[in-house]
Structure formats: C-alpha cells, structure tokens
Amino acid sequence: MSLFLFKSILGLIFLVAGVIAVICMFALMGKTERKISATFLKKMHKGSGFVFAILLLVISYFCIKHIAMVGDQLSGRAVMHSLLSLFLFIILVIKITIVQFYKRFLRFVPTMGIIVFILAFVVFSTSAGYYFLRTLSVKDASEETTDISEIEIEGNTEKGASLFKDKCSNCHFPDKEENKIGPGLKSILKKAKLPSSGRLANFENIRRQLKNPILSMPAFPSLSGQELADLKAYLKSL
C-alpha cells in the first residue's frame, strides 16, 4: 500500500469522525425531543471528536514529512491544502482550550465546531478526495498513446543523474522498485506500464507525468528539452 493511499484512507476515517461529531452536536443542541439519550450523544460526540483530533495529528505528521522531503516543489494545491490544514488545527486547538479552561466562551464553541468541520471537508477534498478522483481517472488514461513526440535531443546520462538527484530522489528510488514516497524507478522503461498513471512505459508518457502529473506528484513544467533528454538517458540506464 502506498503512503498516499494509506494517508487517504486515514483521511476518509477522519472525515467520517467529523460527520459523526457534527451530527451529535446538532442532535444535542437543535432538538428538544430526541430518540437517543443526551448522555449517549455526548459520549458519541466526545469519542468521535477524540478520533478526529488523533487522526488530524497522525495525518499532519505524514504531511509535514512529505513537505520536508519535497521542499519547494509543492504544487499550488498542496500549498493551499497545507494552509487550510494549519488553520483547521489552530481553530480546533482554540475550541478544545475554551471547552477545558475558558467556559465563559462556551457559546462560541458550536460555531467553531461547524467551522472545523467545514475546513475538514475542504482539507479532505484537496487531498484524499483529490487522490481518489485521480485514481479513478487513471483507468481512463491507462491506454493513452505510445511515443508520439519522443525528445530528439541527445541526452547526457551524467547530467540526467544529477537532475534526478536534485528533482526526483526525494520521492523515488533509482535503484529499487519499492515505494519511497512515489514508486521506485528501477528498470522503469523496461516495464509494460508506468506504476502511477498506468500508461504505457515510454518516455513520452513519463514526460506527460512530469508536465501534468496524475495523483499527488508535483508538476515540473519548467524542465527544458535538454533536461528532459538528459533525464531520458538516465532513466534508460536504470
């Protein structure tokens, strides 16, 4: 199981816990007559809130680890996701602090709870939701073309190795097939299909992945023709 899939499954559980917490809150505060006892609803709200908070911390750990490894190669979507996640974390900490220590401000807690849930939904959508949608779209792209515009420039293997170390080595092993953050790229051009996109394993489809990536890989739109040729030469040597 890839790291992105594992994190996305945790994200789905995280969102479900948030939904349960919000439903319990609405049932407690919005209904005078309830089919379920207030005591049970409070326990459900507290329990789902605890799961929500723990999963937020766990997922944040993986996200911070990914950001540290990728550095300034983060996509715009990933930057927005990170900022929203930080805002979500801050609001949740303030909400918990009020509940525990500043009970005179309890009237603000329900509103903050709704804001936390809305942010959680948006954060989920920009990460796990995006991952699941792109995973489904891979099936439609799996039979895309073979080499329609292979780079004709002569590549330099040594320069390609240096480029790979600078741009790709944080997420991919060059000498293994095991996942690092993304899949290992050993013998990548000798396989039938590319591991992430499911497209035919040729450099044209690797170039497509670099320019317009599927799933959570950052894009590299600024790579020049010579750099692509050097990278192609290096990947052929793996």
Q: Do 224 and 131 belong together in one domain?
A: no
Q: Looking up tokens 């609405």, which residue turns up?
A: 26
Q: Within a 10 A sphere around the Cβ of 210, how many other Cβ atoms?
A: 20
- The DSSP code for 125 is I
> Using one digit for the tens of pLDDT, what is the confidence trace for 32-66?
676 788 889 999 999 999 999 999 999 888 888 77
Q: Which of 131, 151, 138, 134 is nearest to 207 (CA)?
A: 151
Q: Which of 112, 140, 168 is the last residue of a domain?
A: 140
Q: Do 164 and 214 belong together in one domain?
A: yes
Q: Do 94 and 189 belong together in one domain?
A: no
Q: Do 220 and 131 belong together in one domain?
A: no
Which residues, 6+ apart, have CB-to-CB distance to 182 below 8 Å?
A: 171, 172, 196, 217
The H or E element that residue 20 is part of is helix 3-30
Residue 169, in any domain of the structure: yes
Q: Tell me which residues of the chain have a pLDDT lower than 50.
A: 141-151
Q: Which of 84, 112, 140 is the last residue of a domain?
A: 140
Q: How far is CA 82 from CA 7, 15, 18, 150, 190, in A?
A: 14, 17, 19, 36, 36
Q: Which of 69, 15, 93 is nearest to 216 (CA)?
A: 69
Q: Looking up tokens 């909400």, which residue turns up?
A: 95
The H or E element that residue 10 is part of is helix 3-30
Number of separate domains in the chain:
2
Q: Do 204 and 132 belong together in one domain?
A: no
Q: Do 121 and 51 belong together in one domain?
A: yes
Residue 148, in any domain of the structure: no
Q: Which of 115, 140, 165 is the last residue of a domain?
A: 140
Q: Do 39 and 74 belong together in one domain?
A: yes
Q: Do 22 and 127 belong together in one domain?
A: yes
The string of DSSP letters for 160-208 reads HHHHHHHHTTTT--SS-SS-SSS---TTGGGSSB-TTT--BSSHHHHHH
Residue 146, in any domain of the structure: no
The per-residue pLDDT for 22 is 92
CA distance 175 to 178: 9
Domain span at 43 = 3-140
The per-residue pLDDT for 119 is 93
The per-residue pLDDT for 149 is 46
The per-residue pLDDT for 137 is 61
The per-residue pLDDT for 1 is 59
Q: Do 118 and 200 belong together in one domain?
A: no
The per-residue pLDDT for 151 is 45
**String of b and e for 224-234 (b: at least 16 CB within 10 Å)?**
eeebbbbbbbb
Q: Do 9 and 125 belong together in one domain?
A: yes
Q: Do 105 and 133 belong together in one domain?
A: yes
